[in-house]
Amino acid sequence: MRILKLNLSHKNRLGEGVSAFIIKHPHIDRFYGRDNLVLKVFKQPAKNFARAWWGRRMDKPNLINALGESRSDANLMENTVVQNLAHYEGLAPRVYDLIFVEDSRTGFTYPAQVTQYIQGGYDKETDVAISRIKGFFNKHGIYTRDIKGKDIFKEQLVDFDGFVLPDGYEEQLRRKAAEIAHFNNPGDPAYQTIDRLKLKGLRDWVGGEYGDYRVDMLRLNETIFKDKNVLDVGCNLGLYCMEADLRGAKRVVGVDSPETIKIAREISNYLGHFNVDLIGTDLRKSFDAVPKMNYDVVFHLAMDAHIGNLRGEVLDMCNDIFIYESHRDADPEERAKALKRKMKTVTYLGPFQDHGGGTRHQFYCHKNK
């Protein structure tokens, strides 16, 4: 749980509403490796996110979905998950993290979003924006309160007090993961296992049981992710992106097909990985959509059959550690030879057999040592 200590006096605030105010931290952009970030600090003190609220908590049912069903309010975490769902449709600013801010004057601790800063004023003409926003929430069964013009800023909704996920949302995610990111054929279970979502994927089914086999085999517990930039080429549901985020990575980028990324974003967002960037693009055609930066750790797992064997664009993006897994029945000596053209140290981790048979070969490489 990240805590910043700041002077929260009125003179340091960029803007203020009923439930929260905006403040700029001098190092927040550099810390997250992004631009134009601010802290949205909520006025109700809290010490954990289970008891953190956007505004005044409402215990009685006061929210309505498209079917006219009612529900009481949710906490700030759930409000933030809904906000990022709206962001994916261009309807809200993105939130990159939830942290706590301690007021250096009083010692009180307040929850805060690390979010995009939208400059300007409230919109005067809001009917079209409100209609689009309501349409999105109704389509997805999200519980809402009445949306007013003062909640709209540059055609984006900025106040998510009282916005709650639809009933059964977690089960919806599991179902969509199996439908979109299945193992091989339609009707198969999901490809990756996401334990925190209670989702079992066939990629991790070995010897009659599920397990985190690849976490150990790929040396993730020996890899330093803290403050690193990480890229996963062919991230599927984002399992290794979330692993890197949990282990303290500074920036995490995952790339896969647009359809797969859509559900991967929802899962990552639902599990609180707000700072993970998941990008949908066809890597067979171009790598232009992948953000240009020096990636300290690059995953390239079982992607040869999809984009070609160890393409130079991928190897050139790696600044330090390259974690590679071939597709089935590749020649390990040929793969090692190809890796050594770009990597100084190439360590063969051995063969790996998972569900469906066939052997995949795994390598752990260093570019400069």
- Whichever domain contains 270, its CATH number is 3.40.50.150
The confidence band for 58, taking pLDDT boundaries of 50, 70 and 90, is low
The answer to whether residues 365 and 346 touch, using CB atoms and an 8 Å cutoff, is yes
Domain-ending residue, one of 167, 202, 226 = 167
pLDDT (tens digit, 9 = 90+) per residue, 303-326? Answer: 998 898 888 889 999 999 999 999
Q: Is residue 69 part of a domain?
A: yes
Q: What is the pLDDT of residue 138?
A: 93
Q: Report which of 211, 186, 213, 185 is spatially closest to residue 200, judged by C-alpha positions.
A: 211
Q: Do 251 and 325 share a domain, yes or no?
A: yes
pTM score above 0.85: yes
Q: Is residue 194 part of a domain?
A: no
Q: Is residue 174 part of a domain?
A: no
The confidence band for 255, taking pLDDT boundaries of 50, 70 and 90, is very high
Q: Is residue 257 part of a domain?
A: yes
CA–CA separation, 75 and 205 (whole Å): 36
Between residues 125 and 276, the one the model is more confident about: 276
Q: Is residue 113 part of a domain?
A: yes
Q: Is residue 61 pLDDT above 60, yes or no?
A: no
Q: Do 17 and 140 share a domain, yes or no?
A: yes
Q: Do 25 and 110 share a domain, yes or no?
A: yes
The answer to whether residues 4 and 32 touch, using CB atoms and an 8 Å cutoff, is no
Q: Do 243 and 314 share a domain, yes or no?
A: yes
Q: Do 10 and 153 share a domain, yes or no?
A: yes
CA–CA separation, 271 and 197 (whole Å): 8
Relative to beta strand 109-116, strand 70-71 is unpaired
The answer to whether residues 103 and 8 touch, using CB atoms and an 8 Å cutoff, is yes
Q: Is residue 177 part of a domain?
A: no
Q: What angle do CA 16, 21, 25 make, to 5 degrees?
A: 125
Q: Do 341 and 237 share a domain, yes or no?
A: yes
Q: Do 215 and 328 share a domain, yes or no?
A: yes
Alpha helices by DSSP H, the chain: 28-32, 76-88, 127-140, 169-180, 213-217, 239-246, 258-270, 304-307, 312-317, 332-340
Over residues 23-27, mean pLDDT: 89
CA–CA separation, 4 and 25 (whole Å): 9
Q: Do 277 and 161 share a domain, yes or no?
A: no
What percent of the chain has pLDDT above 90? 64
pLDDT (tens digit, 9 = 90+) per residue, 170-201? Answer: 999 999 999 999 888 888 889 999 999 999 88
Domain count, the chain: 2
| Integer angstrom CA distances of residue 55 from 114, 145, 279 | 17, 13, 33
The region of weakest confidence among 209-218, 268-277, 278-287 is 209-218
Q: What is the pLDDT of residue 292?
A: 92
Q: Is residue 280 part of a domain?
A: yes
Q: Do 240 and 156 share a domain, yes or no?
A: no
Q: Is residue 69 pLDDT above 80, yes or no?
A: no
Q: Do 25 and 154 share a domain, yes or no?
A: yes
Residue 46 is part of which domain span? 3-167
| Integer angstrom CA distances of residue 75 from 57, 65, 180, 203, 275 | 8, 17, 30, 34, 20
Could you tell me which residues come within 8 angstroms of residue 27 by beta carbon, excluding any fewer than 6 positions away? none
CA–CA separation, 303 and 212 (whole Å): 20
Q: What is the pLDDT of residue 279?
A: 98
Q: Do 77 and 216 share a domain, yes or no?
A: no
Domain-ending residue, one of 103, 134, 167 = 167
Q: Do 214 and 351 share a domain, yes or no?
A: yes
Domain-ending residue, one of 115, 132, 167 = 167
Q: What is the pLDDT of residue 233?
A: 97
Q: What is the pLDDT of residue 121?
A: 63
Q: Three-class SS of residue 222?
A: helix
Q: Is residue 68 part of a domain?
A: yes
